[in-house]
Amino acid sequence: MEFTKSLHNLPRISFSDISRIINEVSVAKTSKAEKAYKLFFEEYIFQFEVSNTMPEGVTVRARCHRSMRKNEEPHTVQVTLHATQVPVEVMKTSCTCVAGKAFCNHTVALLYQSAHYSTMGFKTVPLPVACTSTLQTWHRPRTQGIQPESTCDMEVRKPKSTSRTGVKSTLYQAYPGPFPDPHMLELAEKMRNMRPQPGVCKFLLNRDEDLLMVDSKFGPVPYGSVLSYQCPSESESEVIKHPDAPKYPQLPIENYRFQSKFDFTPNYKQKCHLESLKVTTPQAAMIEERTRQQSSSQLWFEVRRPRITASRFREVCHVCGKSSSQALATRILKGTPQTRDMKRGQELESDVLKQYSDARNVSVLPCGVIIHPDAPYLGASPDARVYDPTASPPFGLAEVKCCNVASVLEVKHLKVVAGEATLKPSHKYFWQVQGQLAITGLQWCDFITDTHNDVTIQRILRDQGLITSMREKLDTFYHHVYMDVYLNIKDKV
């Protein structure tokens, strides 16, 4: 396909054709037409070219300046029009903007530019008019980019990130002692007869013994104090339905072995790294307890980073080739940016667990990062620990997925069998659950899928055959790929 400035192959297209196309394709008809026409009228479209006639039609392409960040690279826009059909039809469109796969404003602006040339009867794309031959355009918010300058005047610096950052509270508990401080009470007693009496004594000396205390992020504080409502206690996904239940066992389960026959001879650097990951059973239990706030805990991130966690087990077990394996390891270490759906799921998780607890009459407890001493380079973070007195054994896990869809029929990881929605065994969530059971030593996990209109709960049992196969592939990937990628990134920091 060849592109030229010649308009000989440009199909006949009018402004009424564009109105018809917008009405057929777009939902926000008036808004799209106005925004696109403004881009065309203010000369955002430039480098207009037309292809030769192809069987699939004639392609028109151009560049379009960004409407907001005008110093950044302009978008590349393409529209393929039917070569002979009357009235003209749009066959295909593309744009490098975020909405480029759909019918974006830049695409419509290019159609307006095409209609302008077609209506005016131009044979070729007109040459740019000198700025001295046109009216002033200072009021038009557009720039052609960086202007030439002397090398001596050039400044080289790191580009600023375009991502928006905000200001977050850095409040922390500076005083770790009890409240009120006994030393302060003792000091107040010494100042009882002092005149004039310091204001702090009025509170400390006249303090009612029945002062109502409420929980806060920093422990018990007086009811009505600033900390009582500005820093309330961090809510945990804990619902106790059976207060007389036996104590939940520490995770991983005591005396549960997760051994492997994998043989690997590390070099000195790898050996030091593997030694740093080792944990004892008491240490593993302590880590689980201290990371129950999950993403609200800094330790949660630090413990997970050098390890492969259960949410990635299926990807790891199905990756093929050295380059693909290294790319996967890099993606895992970079992490996944939080999307709106992920944030929504995080916010709804505690409510869904409460609904689940009521529906199944089970006790729900928070859960942290679980590491098994036999595989300290693997980890799992179930959403909750569960006690179900009707189950055998009664202790299990819960994993919640909040899907931003209307019903379970639209959920991609579920399939409906005999009128019942079940998790697909080939889906990464199934492997995630099996990974959690493998590391904890538990026998079952309730998989909860929440949608706008309904909730489905499926009890998934431990699949030892899958766990054995999975362990072999995880060992190979970690020791031969992930560990080296992690150490290389760590050395560069």
- Answer yes or no: is 347 within a domain: yes
**481 plus 377 within the same structural domain:** yes
Q: How far is CA 255 from CA 128, 258, 290, 439, in A?
A: 80, 10, 22, 12
Cβ atoms of 445 and 382 closer than 8 Å:
yes
pLDDT recorded at residue 164: 64
Asked if 473 and 392 sit in the same domain, the reply is yes
With respect to residue 277, please indicate whether it lies within any of the assigned structural domains. Answer: yes
174, pLDDT greater than 60: yes
Whether residue 472 is contained in a domain is answered as yes
Residue 234 has pLDDT above 80, yes or no: no
Question: Does residue 425 carry a pLDDT above 90?
Answer: yes
Q: How far apart are CA 402 and CA 353, in angstroms?
A: 11
Q: Which is it for the CA torsion 135, 138, 144, 146, positive or negative?
A: positive
Give domain status of residue 262, yes or no. Answer: no
Residue 431: pLDDT over 70? yes
Residue 108 lies in a domain: yes
Q: Find the mean pLDDT for residues 12-41.
A: 85
Rg (CA), the chain: 32
CATH code for position 406: 3.90.320.10
Range of the domain at 232: 210-236
277, 376 Cβ separation under 8 angstroms = yes
Confidence (pLDDT) at 88: 87
- Tens-digit pLDDT profile for residues 114-161: 999 999 888 888 887 766 767 766 665 554 455 677 777 777 877 766
Amino acid in position 41: F
Whether the predicted pLDDT of 489 surpasses 90: no
Distance CA 471, CA 315 (A): 13
Angle at 266 between CA 332 and CA 313, to 5 degrees: 30
- 3-class SS at 275? helix
Q: Is there a single domain that holds both residue 220 and residue 107?
A: no
Q: Mean pLDDT score of the chain, rounded to an integer? A: 85
For the segment 307-333, the average pLDDT, to the nearest whole number, is 93
Report the distance separating Cα 43 and Cα 142, nearest Å.
9
Q: Are 467 and 411 found together in one domain?
A: yes
In the chain, the percentage of residues whose pLDDT exceeds 90 is 42
Residues 331 and 287 grouped into a single domain: yes
**Contact status, residue 279 vs residue 373, Cβ threshold 8 Å:** yes
Domain match, 217 and 81 both: no
The answer to whether the CB of 81 falls within 8 A of the CB of 88 is yes
The secondary element (H helix, E strand) that includes residue 333 is helix 322-334
pLDDT value, residue 378:
95
* Same-domain check for residues 317 and 229: no
Q: Are 109 and 44 in contact (CB under 8 A)?
A: yes
Question: Could you give the angle at which helices 464-477 and 428-440 cross, rounded to 10 degrees?
Answer: 90
Last residue of a domain, one of 91, 106, 127: 127
**What's the per-residue H, E or C state across 420-456?**
EEEECCCCHHHHHHHHHHHHHCCCEEEEEEECCCCEE
What does pTM read for this prediction?
A: 0.57
**Domain closes at, from 95, 127, 159:** 127
Q: Do residue 82 and residue 222 come from a single domain?
A: no
pLDDT for the residue 353: 92
Checking if the pLDDT of 380 tops 90, the result is yes
Choose the final residue of a domain: 96, 127, 158: 127
pLDDT tens by residue, 189-201: 888 888 887 777 7
The pair of structure tokens assigned to 31 is 């808004």
What gap in Å lies between CA 454 and CA 405, rounded to an integer?
10
Question: Which H or E run contains 365?
Answer: strand 363-365
Residue 179 in any domain: the answer is no
Residue 56: what pLDDT?
Answer: 73
Same domain, 226 and 298: no
Residue among 257, 256, 235, 234 at smallest CA distance from 395 = 256
Same domain, 446 and 298: yes
- The domain tally of the chain equals 3
Task: Kindly indicate the confidence band of residue 384, based on its pLDDT and cuts at 50, 70 and 90.
Answer: very high
What is residue 338's predicted lDDT score, i.e. its pLDDT? 78
Give domain status of residue 154, yes or no: no
Q: Which of 458, 420, 421, 442 is nearest to 367 (CA)?
A: 442
Residue 135 lies in a domain: no
Do 220 and 327 fall into the same domain?
Answer: no
Whether 367 has a pLDDT exceeding 60, the answer reads yes
Tell me the pLDDT tens digit for each residue of 263-314: 888 899 999 999 999 999 999 999 998 888 887 778 888 899 999 999 999 9
Do 279 and 228 lie in a common domain? Answer: no
Going by C-beta distance under 8 Å and a sequence separation of 6 or more, which residues neighbour residue 436? 310, 370, 380, 382, 397, 399, 442, 445
